[in-house]
Copies of this chain bind each other. A is one copy, B any other.
Amino acid sequence: MTEVDILGLSGSLRAGSMNTALLRAAQKHSPAGVSVTINENLGDVPLYNGDLDTENPPAAVRELREAITRADGLLIATPEYNYSVPGVLKNALDWASRPAASSSLTHKPIAIMGAAPGNFGTVRAQLALRQSFVWTRSRVLTRPEVMVFNCAERFDQAGNLTDEKTIELIRELLTALREQVRG
Contacts and interface: CB of A to CB of B under 8 A. Distances in A.
Given A14-B50, A47-B47, A130-B134, A91 B84 contact: no
Contact of A131 (B84, B91, B137): B84
A134 B123 contact: no
Interface in A84-99: 84-94, 97
Give the bracket for the number of chain A residues in contact with chain B. 35 or more
How many copies the complex holds: the figure is 4
B48 A83 contact: no
Interface stretch (A31-39, A141-149, A152-160): A141-149
Contacts of A138: 142
Contacts of A45: 47
Interface string A110-134: 0000000001110110011011111
Nearest to A17: B50
Interface of A: 12-17, 42-43, 45, 47-51, 81-94, 97, 119-121, 123-124, 127-128, 130-138, 142-143, 147, 149
